[in-house]
Chain A
Amino acid sequence: MSTPVLATPAADPAVVSGGPTVGQRLTSFMPLIALVALLAALTIADPDFLTQRSLTAAVRTSAPLVVLAAGATLVVLCGGIDLSIAALCSLSTVFFAMWLPDLGGLTALAVVVAAGAIGAVQGLAHVLLRIPSFIVTLGGLSIFSSVALVISDAGPIRVVDRDATKWLTLYVGGVVPMAFFVAVLVVAAIALVLRLTPVQSWITATGFSESAARLAGTPVDRVKVAAFTVSGACAGLAAVMLVSRNFSGSPTMADNLLLPAVAAIVVGGTAITGGHGSIWRSLVGALVITLLRVGLPIVGVPSAWEQILYGAIIVAAVALTLDRSKVLIIK
Chain B
Amino acid sequence: MKLTSRPAAALVGLSLAAMALAGCSEEAGGGGGGDASASGACDPADVKLVGQVRNESNPYEASWLDGGDAFAEQVGLTQERLTYDADSTKQQEQVSQLLAGDTDCLVMNILPNGDSDTPPIVEGAQDAGAYLVTQWNKPADLNVTDYDHWVSHITYNGVESGKQIGDALAEAIGGSGGIIALQGILDTGAAKDRFAGLEESLAANPDVELLDDQTANFSRDEALAVTKTLLTKHGDDVKGIWAANDDMALGALAALEQAGRDDVAVVGIDAVPDALTAIQDGTMTATVSSDGPWQGGIGLAIGYCVATGELSVDDIGDEDRAWFAEQFLINSDNVADFSAPETDEADFECDNVFSRSQGAIS
Contact = CB atoms under 8 A, between A and B. Distances in A.
Tell whether A pairs with B. yes
Given A171-B27, A188-B8, A48 B101 contact: yes
Interface string A268-283: 0000000000101101
A254 interface: yes
B328 to A, nearest CB: 28
Interface stretch (A56-64, A100-108, A217-225): A56-64
A294 B93 contact: yes
Interface string A207-222: 0000000000000000
A316 interface: no
A85 to B, nearest CB: 14
Contacts of A98: none
Contact of A154 (B18, B90, B187): B187
Given A177-B28, A181-B15, A302-B81, A294 B97 contact: yes
B26 interface: yes
Interface string B131-156: 00000000100000000000000000
Q: How large is the interface on B (under 10, 10 to 19, 20 to 34, 35 or more residues)?
A: 35 or more
A158 B119 contact: yes
Nearest to B87: A256
B30 A53 contact: yes
Interface stretch (B110-118, B175-183, B250-258, B305-313): B110-118
A28 B28 CA distance: 32
Interface in A230-252: 242, 245-248, 250, 252
Interface string B75-86: 000001111010
Contact of B30 (A52, A155, A281): A52
A265 to B, nearest CB: 14
A184 interface: yes
A250 B115 CA distance: 12
Interface in B166-201: 187
B357 interface: no
B232 interface: no
Nearest to B23: A173
Nearest to B2: A1
Given A171-B28, A246-B89, A280 B4 contact: yes
Contacts of B89: 242, 246, 253-254, 256-257
Contacts, number: 164
B18 A293 contact: no
Tell which of A191, A295, A303 has the most Cβ of chain B within 10 Å.
Answer: A303
B28 A56 contact: yes
A32 B24 CA distance: 28
B1 interface: yes
A183 B11 CA distance: 12
B19 A173 contact: yes
A190 to B, nearest CB: 11
Contacts of B45: none
B59 interface: no
Interface in B225-262: none
B21 interface: yes
B116 A175 contact: no
Contacts of B94: 294, 297-298
B280 interface: no
Contact of A245 (B15, B102, B120): B120
B120 A246 contact: yes
A247 B119 contact: yes
A169 B227 CA distance: 50
A156 B3 CA distance: 44
Nearest to A153: B187
A290 B90 CA distance: 10
B96 interface: yes
A178 B8 contact: no
Interface residues of A, number: 68
B61 to A, nearest CB: 11
B100 interface: yes
Q: For B81, B92, B93, B187, which residue has the most chain A Cβ atoms within 10 angstroms? A: B93
A131 interface: no
A296 to B, nearest CB: 10
A176 interface: yes
Nearest to B22: A173
Contacts of A290: 93
Contacts of B90: 256, 293
Given A254-B89, A283-B8, A174 B25 contact: yes
Interface string A135-155: 000000000000000000111
B82 A297 contact: yes
Nearest to B117: A246
Max count, chain A CB within 10 A of own CB: residue among B23, B28, B56: B28
Contact of B24 (A157, A158, A171): A171
B177 to A, nearest CB: 36
A278 B97 contact: no
A153 B114 CA distance: 15
Contacts of A51: 30, 100-101
A200 interface: yes
A29 interface: yes
A3 B89 CA distance: 39
Contact of B28 (A53, A157, A246, A254): A53
Given A154-B187, A173-B21, A246-B120, A54 B100 contact: yes
Given A2-B1, A173-B18, A188-B12, 11 more contacts: A48-B102, A57-B100, A155-B187, A170-B24, A171-B27, A171-B29, A173-B24, A185-B12, A242-B89, A253-B89, A290-B93
30 contacts: A29-B3, A51-B100, A53-B32, A54-B97, A56-B29, A56-B30, A173-B18, A173-B23, A175-B30, A177-B28, A178-B24, A195-B1, A246-B92, A246-B116, A246-B117, A246-B120, A248-B117, A253-B89, A256-B89, A256-B90, A278-B1, A278-B4, A278-B5, A283-B8, A290-B93, A294-B93, A294-B94, A297-B94, A300-B80, A302-B81
Closest CB pairs A-B (n = 6): A57-B100, A173-B18, A174-B29, A156-B116, A173-B22, A248-B116
Interface of B: 1-5, 7-8, 11-12, 15, 18-19, 21-32, 56, 80-83, 85, 87-90, 92-94, 96-102, 114-117, 119-120, 139, 187
